[in-house]
Structure 1
Amino acid sequence: MKKAEYIDKDEMELAKSLETEEWVSDLTKKEKKQYEEYARNSLTKQKRINIRMTERDLKKIQAKAIEEGLPYQSLISMLIHKYNEGKVSIQEWHNMGIQQIADKSGSR
């Protein structure tokens, strides 16, 4: 096997620290499970759709997505997925913020 070529000393030290397992995850079991679910969902085949909505609604969704640190398409997809899984209802959306809806999936 060909030995890896490193750009600089820092990169070489980082690679060695990864190989010697110096890095330890600080994720809780709940967070790890949530990220595993995200990964599983991202591996499923996705279908592109078009949605007609008012410009005002789109701007609000984009603003909420920025607040949550997500692409707006991912936020829309997440909300649809949670609705389909029965993890959130339309009435709950009226009573909750986006982050509470996102967190809700881990509590059921």
Structure 2
Amino acid sequence: MGKFKLDKEEQEILDAFEAGEFKSVMTPTRKKALQAAAEETLKKDKRINIRISGRDLVALQRRAVKEGIPYQTLVSSILHKYVSGSLQDKMANK
């Protein structure tokens, strides 16, 4: 691994971390809540069937190959990002 040049603030943070000045805020209750949220997010318990153009399907499959994931996983990820607000329609903001 190469050596990185840190700016002054980054170096101060690293020095403080290495000196043991940081304390974890992860409590057992918080950890349990985060695990439950993650499990709920990742649970895939419903199935849908949709019809799309052959051209769009081929494009999705090619994109999925580039990402190294199955195309169904890519579609599911896109839909999740859209409904959670992290993927937005550019045209909606105009």
Q: Quick one: which amino acid aligns to residue 89 of structure 1? A: Q
Q: Counterpart of 1:78?
A: 77
Structure 1, gaps ≥5 residues long: 1-35, 93-108
Post-superposition CA distance 1:9-50 (Å, at most 9, x none): xxxxxxxxxxxxxxxxxxxxxxxxxxx8xx6333x2421111
RMSD of equivalent CA atoms: 1.9
**What is the CA–CA distance in structure 1 between the aligned matches of 2:86 and 2:62, rounded to whole Å?**
23
Give the secondary structure class of the aligned counterpart of 1:78.
helix
Runs of 4 or more above 3 Å deviation: none
| Deviation of the 1:72 alpha carbon | 0.2
Q: Quick one: which amino acid aligns to residue 67 of structure 2? A: E
Computing the radius of gyration from Cα coordinates, the structure with the larger value is 2
Give the secondary structure class of the aligned counterpart of 1:77.
helix
TM-score by length of 1: 0.45
Task: Describe how 1:50-61 pairs up with structure 2 within 5 A.
Answer: 50-61=49-60
TM-score by length of 2: 0.52
Q: Counterpart of 1:48?
A: 47
Residue 89 (1) aligns with residue 76 (2): no
Length, aligned pairs only: 54
